[in-house]
Amino acid sequence: MNAGANGNIAVEMRAISKRFGGVHALREVYFSAQFGEIHALLGENGAGKSTILTILRGVLAPDSGEIIVDGSSFPSLTAKAAREHGIGMIFQEMSLVPTLTVAQNVFLNNEPLGRTGLINERAMRERSLEIFRDMGVEIDPAALVGELSTGQQQLAEIAKALSQDARILVLDEPTSALTATEVEILFGLVRRLRGEGKAIIYVSHRMDEIFQLADRATVLRDGRHIDTRPIADYTLTTLIADIMGKATRDLLEYATASTSSEDVVLEVRNLRSGGTGAGASFALHQGEVLGIAGLLGSGRSRLARMLFGLEPVGAGEILLRNEPFQITSPQVAMAAGMALVPEDRRRQGLVLQHSVAHNIELPVLGRLGASAFISGRTGRQIVRDTISRMGIKTQSPDSAVNTLSGGNQQKVVIGKWLATAPDILIMDEATAGIDIGSKGEILRLVRELASEGKSIIFISSELAELLAVSDRICVMARGEIVQSFDARQLVAGDQDPQSELQAEQKLQLLLQQGKRHG
């Protein structure tokens, strides 16, 4: 193993194995992180990252192996023991309670007590405020978490871990909901914590973050330890090869010839939810993939919700196939041949405790008939077809969807809406937080759907995938479409990786200009 920043091992997991029924989640995995380093833990969904971190957190016990935390050896940890030994976790799917204040969440299960033995609310607020000041952010500790933006909630999640004086800090996709400014705050904070001697385990599917932050990287694949190296020993190509088991080309491989026709299926004129401003205006053609780019807070998701009837339209006009159309509810949108893949699959796209089959059947219950026999037969065929087409990896259609990896959960969300046979598919951050392999499958599917004549609004914060799959790209800022252009204009027909990098830089510049002038 390569030495870390100072050679002091913070946590070591030796020959960790874990099975769930007949599935080997981990096979004698070795992982070690050291004080004073940022250590990236990488792998596709299903590689074993979540399992090994759940074991480190003390929620699961390994079937075999040894865990060494700061020199102390354990066959397994409890959640209490993990906290007592300085292990702090920041989750991709946030664990905050929306009805409690920020301070109450930051010190949940760790509340300071007064002389009477009661919780000292004032001390919680003061300590929370101090943590936020150290982080360089302004968040009111007395505010309800449910009233915060998604980015502020993520920062509160980070403060919660820091309140426990964690020496080993695990960050699971911590930037997924942050603005560019908040990301820079987080990166500065993580580097400072490394400088203070803390061990940082950093999990992300965003390779640019890994190369910016990490000192070392450990790659898991199919429940096995593949390699641990200094990040300087990796290139993007070799890192992806380790993660996937084979070298892959850049995202431009998913770009195909445009199948967009002259027929306009959806036109939006000055659409906004409220307030002032020109609103969003664009046209969507049959067989077209229309990419929507914009910084966090630009109004991309709000636009998607308005188009699907989840949020009321404050002003503007929608024309469906050249006829004025009012979308007052998701049912109206679905009846008109529209579908929405929401940005948060776990809270908005799935019923996690229900089976894969039930989740797929939900949007098409009206087609399954009144007879239980017909419903079961037709529904099962739809489920089988969806699992096959989407390549969903599940032990059984009756398995609970929360047992699937993130990538396979996302395939269920997309598949269940495709089962409604929509003409217009709105996809909001359809590849967020999933592995590179699943991302490629989804991007390829998007182009296939367009070739079948479906019209797709593809919202993404990943510029490379926007350039790869979009025919046109609209840039949003403050609820308005500020620019629209042919995606191939930026790529200029050159499909080498350097050309894609240049195209991303140009698109990023357009986003920044849109934010400033929108």
Give pairs for 398-402: CB < 8 Å, separation 24+.
398/355, 398/356, 398/357, 399/355, 399/356, 400/352, 400/353, 400/354, 400/355, 400/356, 401/350, 401/351, 401/352, 401/354, 401/355, 401/356, 401/359, 402/350, 402/352, 402/353
Which of 7-21, 91-105, 148-162 is modeled with the greatest confidence?
7-21
Share of the chain above pLDDT 70, in %: 87
From the number of C-beta atoms within 10 Å of its C-beta (0-12, 13-18, 19+), residue 187 rates as middle
User: Which pLDDT score is estimated for 459?
Assistant: 95
Sheet holding 23-34, edge to edge: 23-34, 9-20, 64-69, 72-74
Q: Are 170 and 56 contacting, i.e. CB atoms less than 8 angstroms apart?
A: yes
Topology of the domain comprising 251-337+422-517:
Rossmann fold (3.40.50)
- Where does the chain hold its CATH 3.40.50.300 domain(s)? 9-244, 251-337+422-517
CA dihedral 358, 361, 363, 367 (to 10 degrees): -140
pLDDT tens figures, 151-210: 788 888 888 888 888 899 999 888 766 766 778 888 888 998 899 899 999 998 778 789
Q: Are 362 and 416 contacting, i.e. CB atoms less than 8 angstroms apart?
A: yes
- Round to whole Å and give the CA distance between 432 and 276: 30
Greatest alpha-carbon pair distance for the chain in Å reads: 74
Q: Which CATH architecture best describes the domain 9-244?
A: 3-Layer(aba) Sandwich (3.40)
Q: Which of 403, 297, 303, 298 is nearest to 356 (CA)?
A: 403
The mean pLDDT of the chain is 85
Beta strands 168-172 and 199-203 are parallel
User: Which pLDDT score is estimated for 1?
Assistant: 37
User: Which pLDDT score is estimated for 250?
Assistant: 62
- Round to whole Å and give the CA distance between 85 and 280: 51
Backbone phi, psi, residue 12, to 5°: -135, 130
User: Sign of dihedral through CA atoms 223, 171, 242, 440?
Assistant: positive
User: Which pLDDT score is estimated for 220?
Assistant: 95
Quickly tell me which residue has 């099962």 as its tokens.
Answer: 380
188 against 227, higher pLDDT: 227
User: Which pLDDT score is estimated for 493?
Assistant: 47
User: Is the pLDDT assigned to residue 304 strictly greater than 60?
Assistant: yes
pLDDT tens figures, 314-334: 999 999 999 999 999 999 999
- Round to whole Å and give the CA distance between 486 and 473: 6
For residue 219, what are the β-bridge partners?
Answer: 42, 227
Contacts of 184 (CB under 8 A, 6+ apart): none
Amino acid at 198: K
Within 203-329, residue ranges assigned H as helices are: 207-213, 236-244, 300-307
Which of 87-101, 310-324, 424-438 is modeled with the greatest confidence?
310-324
Contacts of 323 (CB under 8 A, 6+ apart): none
pLDDT tens figures, 238-291: 887 788 775 444 666 777 888 888 999 999 999 998 766 678 999 999 999 999
- Round to whole Å and give the CA distance between 404 and 428: 20
